[in-house]
Structures are given as C-alpha cells and as structure tokens.
Amino acid sequence: EQEVSKLQFELEWRESSFMNSQQTWAERFDRVCQENAILMSKLEARNEELRKANAHKCAISRERDELLALLDITERLKYE
C-alpha cells in the first residue's frame, strides 16, 4: 500500500509538472504570436513607406528628365 501511495504521488506530481510545462509553453507561444503580429504590422507600415518613397523618387526623376529635355545641349551637359 505504501508503494502504491508513493507511485500515485509520483504520478500526480508528474501530471502537475506536465500541466505546468504545457501552460508555460502555451504562454510563450501566445507571447511570440503577439510579438510576431506587432512586427508584421511594423513591417507592412515600413513597406508602405518604402513604396511611397520609391514612387516619389520616380516622380522626381521623371520631372528632372523633363526639365533636362527643356534645356539646350550646352546647358544639359552641365547637369548630366
């Protein structure tokens, strides 16, 4: 009977330990998922900023080319 009691105690302890471990890993997983969502949101915002910056750069480059086309050849060589 003492051996059964000892084994039962050990089994309960292992179950408790396992449940605690599962809870810990579930909390870590949730935290990582939340961090990932935040980082994805920041990445999407940064991608949008870069897309706008590239569009602005293209517009400025196009405007520069149009302005250069208005100059005569000698003036154009100064800026190219």
Neighbours of 76 (CB within 10 A): 13
Q: Look up the domain containing 70 and give its range.
A: 2-79
34-58 pLDDT per residue, tens: 999 999 999 999 999 999 999 999 9
How many domains is the chain partitioned into structurally? 1
8-30 pLDDT per residue, tens: 999 999 999 999 999 999 999 99
7 neighbors 15 (Cβ within 8 angstroms): no
- CA 11 to each of CA 1, 7, 23, 59: distance values in angstroms, whole numbers, following the listed order: 15, 6, 18, 71
**pLDDT of res. 78:** 80
Distance CA 47, CA 17 (A): 44
pLDDT band at 68; cut points 50, 70, 90: confident
Model pTM score: 0.63
